[in-house]
Amino acid sequence: MSSPFNMPDEFVRGFVESGGRLFGAGGGTAVDAAQLAQAQAHYWQQQAALWTGWLASGGTQSAAVVDAERGDRRFHGDAWSGQPWFSLLKQNYLLNARLLGELADAAELEAADKHKLRFFMRQFIDSMSPANFAGTNPEVLKLALESNGQSVAAGLAHLVDDLGKGRISITDESAFEIGRNVAVSKGSVVYENPLMQLIQYAPLTEKVAVRPLLIVPPCINKFYILDLQPENSFVRFACEQGQTVFLVSWRNPGPDLGHVTWDDYLVLGAMAAIEVALAISGADKVNAVGWCVGGTILASALAVLRAQGDRSVASATFLTTMLDFAEPGDLGVFVDAQGVAQREATIGRGGIYAGAELGFVFQSLRANDLIWPYVIGNYLKGKSPAAFDLLYWNADATNLPGPMYAWYLRNMYLENNLRVPDRLTMCETAVDLGRIDMPCYVLATREDHIVPWRSAYQTTQLVGGKSQFVLGASGHIAGVVNPASKDKRSYWTGAAQGESADAWLAGAQETPGSWWKHWRQWLKPLEGKQVVARQRLGNAEHAPIENAPGRYVKQRAE
């Protein structure tokens, strides 16, 4: 079983290869001598100042030579600054961390190799923080003394429990239950097949748009990130705005779905959902929304449908979606020819890619937020993590079918084939994203560590229809789930959408508040006339099967 206690092969190989590139394995790596000399000189100058101050005071004071970056919460405790020994530890660590980072910067490597080196160097630096070890964390030592060792005993118990789970606990999972206090919007499952259930949500207005809204969430996570609580539910917002909302709830694959392919996700997922939504609503077209990998699935399905002459989708909204994988961000460090070939050989013809592995990869992208605070809190301090709905969702892992996953890695991340017209064949149809000629709303988020916003911007250059690009503040999750009722953060719009994302940003205008309201105004002309909302969900052919959120979303990863 792969877990944070048994790292995925890609992670281990990345550490080894990156270290080899920097320190000379396999022939050595050239380093910018001037840049390295400057980094070393600055390092020794600050080290001299740090230790001179320490020795001159007889170990009673530690001069403030360097401090943690703003937003770094590891050293917020008073002891890290107020107690000379721990202040010395902290500052020495920060100076060493800066030197290692500058050493990676000075390495003369190809862009992809340098990105990988920087990423894994950051992982090593973060793991070596004195805050992560009981003997060098003043808060841990103080708590152990004050509790007469009870915190140590509790921490060991938490560690044993998490070893049994195969993952680090990041929230109080007992505080939440799907369908009780998360994923609570009213509705019914009106269709299901072996891969997904389709939920139709109950209307919240007397009249609704004749054209329904179909949401295709990512298959690498559970859909209820879009329906966590009523106050931050995108599903509820859409219903309150007079939409008839249909949503795909992907099944959490087990061994019986180990044969499922990318084409199956198009045919049994997005395409089947479009067909059923049209049949139930009686509309001529649907408006579709895809998020992350759900957006990639939706775009692929739309390109196939358009090539086949199907014009049943009036508009497409892509939320933090990559269609051009030339610059995949930090996730790209885990993908190389050797790793993809290994996945193809092991699960490419059948099998399951464990959700625990994928979950750890995503956590590692923000290790100082999603790994090390819980190592410290759970194991060193013996505390239980607080209840947080977003982290409950984050810990609800989803498996992927091996053939689908291996194909996706090769054709998207490794070879970037989707952006090339007619290079890929899906559902026996040559795929050209330029055939997606309906209006498209393309949302990226400025601090996204999974789908870099400049990569998401490239969608505007690939689709054939008129597109509206919007850049939201914050990251991959918080930037999307930005409720209109709270009106936080901001978004950018308005610039000419040429080839350069940076040129677009230079001309864009910032607007305070949630992008949800901007999207709502964009969609209005495309939703058709208003009709009386039908309180009865489904129809004669597609009768309700069970209440939302359905069975599939409750299946845990095996």
Average pLDDT over residues 195-200: 98
DSSP reduced 3-state for 279: helix
pLDDT of residue 13: 56
pLDDT of residue 354: 93
For 210-244, give the DSSP string: SS-EEEE--TTS-GGGGSSSGGG-HHHHHHHTT--
Q: Examine the pLDDT at 364 and tell me if it is beyond 50.
A: yes
Among 318, 286, 265, which Cα is nearest to 200's? 286
Residue pointed to by tokens 């008073």? 78
The pLDDT tens digits for 298-328 are 999 999 999 999 999 999 999 999 999 999 9
DSSP reduced 3-state for 398: coil
Contact 488, 482 (CB under 8 A): yes
Element (H, E) at 470: strand 467-472
pLDDT of residue 1: 32
pLDDT of residue 63: 73
pLDDT of residue 426: 98
Q: Examine the pLDDT at 20 and tell me if it is beyond 70.
A: no
Whether 292 is catalytic: yes
CA gap 138, 127 in Å, rounded: 17
Average pLDDT over residues 39-48: 92
Mean pLDDT across the chain: 93
pLDDT of residue 330: 92
pLDDT of residue 3: 40
Percent residues over pLDDT 70 in the chain = 95
CA gap 188, 278 in Å, rounded: 16
Percent residues over pLDDT 90 in the chain = 82
The pLDDT tens digits for 132-142 are 999 999 999 99
> Which carries the bigger pLDDT value, residue 535 or residue 292?
292
What CATH architecture applies to the domain 187-335+397-554? 3-Layer(aba) Sandwich (3.40)
Q: Examine the pLDDT at 210 and tell me if it is beyond 80.
A: yes
| Ranges of CATH 3.40.50.1820 domains, the chain | 187-335+397-554
Beta-carbon contacts of 341 under 8 Å, excluding residues fewer than 6 positions away, are none
pLDDT of residue 33: 85
Q: Examine the pLDDT at 508 and tell me if it is beyond 50.
A: yes
Tokens of 102: 């500058």
Whole-model pTM: value is 0.92
CA gap 315, 92 in Å, rounded: 55
The pLDDT tens digits for 323-348 are 999 999 999 999 999 999 999 999 99
Contact 211, 281 (CB under 8 A): yes
Q: Examine the pLDDT at 530 and tell me if it is beyond 50.
A: yes
Contact 183, 508 (CB under 8 A): no
Which position among 219, 239, 292, 440 bears the catalytic label?
A: 292
Q: Examine the pLDDT at 4 and tell me if it is beyond 50.
A: no
pLDDT of residue 31: 76
Q: Examine the pLDDT at 7 and tell me if it is beyond 90.
A: no
pLDDT of residue 320: 98
